[in-house]
Amino acid sequence: MSNWYMLTLTGEDRPGIVARVTRVLFERDMNLGEASMLRLGGNFTIMMMVSGHMDADALQQALSEVVRELGLSLHIDPMKGGLHRHVPPNLMVRVSGADRAGIVARVTGVLADAGFNILDLESDVAGTAEQPVYIMQIAGVATVPLESLEQAVSGLREEGIEVNISPVEMLVG
């Protein structure tokens, strides 16, 4: 159970991709771990942890038919790590601004320099084709106080990038 592979599958979105792929794995007694599956720009994307008796070559072979039929591209990497390693976020950063070169690199660079570790980043382009707006939500863990991060991003605000940082107070009940 401890040998995990990371499967990356992408292809034009259509109904049944998840069902077909996971059916093949189930029929071969493979276990699924954590996964992220979502539609990006009309494509369906899957990143999924898989473990069991099969190695990368066997997985590739087992999935070859469904991959060909659904027009997917498949990539398999052995991975370190495993389940039950969740790190809860303690800060949420919301970003929006006119879409322009480097906005993601600028924002995440400032956060990284301030000691912020990204756990989950969602980004999207809203607005119109003429006036696109970049919107990001970043959940992560900071080891420095909120005030230090505020200080770090204040320069971005002057450049017209809206950055809003709020604490995530986890509730356990």
Partner 1 sequence: MEPLQILTIPDERLKQPSEPVTDFDDGLRDFVARLELTRQQGPAAVGIAAPQVGHFQRIAIVDCSNTRKPVPNHGNLVLINPEITHWDGYEVGREGCLSVPDYTGNVIRATRIRLTARDECGEAHEYEMEGYEARAVQHEIDHLDGILFIDRVVSRRTDLFKRKVYR
Q: Which is nearer to partner 1, 89 or 97 (CB)?
A: 89
Please select the residue that binds partner 1; options are 84, 102, 128, 131, rule is CB under 8 A.
84
Closest to 96 (Cα-Cα) out of 54, 159, 40: 159
Residue 129 interacting with partner 1 (CB under 8 A): no
The nearer residue to partner 1, 14 or 84, going by C-beta atoms, is 84
Q: Total residues contacting partner 1 (rule CB under 8 A)?
A: 13
**Do residues 136 and 121 touch, judged by C-beta distance below 8 A?**
yes
Per-residue burial over 112-133, b = 16 or more CB atoms within 10 Å of its CB, e = otherwise: eebebeeeeeeeeeeeeeeeee
Between CA 119 and CA 171 the distance in angstroms is: 18
The binding track of 35-74 with respect to partner 1, each residue x by CB under 8 A or -, is ---x------------------------------------
Amino acid at 164: N
User: Which of 78, 115, 132, 167: binder of partner 1 (CB under 8 A)?
Assistant: 167
How far apart, in Å, are the Cα atoms of 72 and each of 56, 93, 110, 169? 17, 33, 36, 40
Least separation in angstroms between residue 37's CB and partner 1 is 11
Q: Which stretch binds partner 1 (CB under 8 A): 1-9, 50-58, 81-89, 93-101?
A: 81-89
Q: Which of 122, 148, 160, 164 binds partner 1 (CB under 8 A)?
A: 122
Calculate the CA 150 to chain-centre distance.
Answer: 24
Site residues for partner 1 per CB under 8 A: 38, 84, 86, 88-89, 122, 167-173
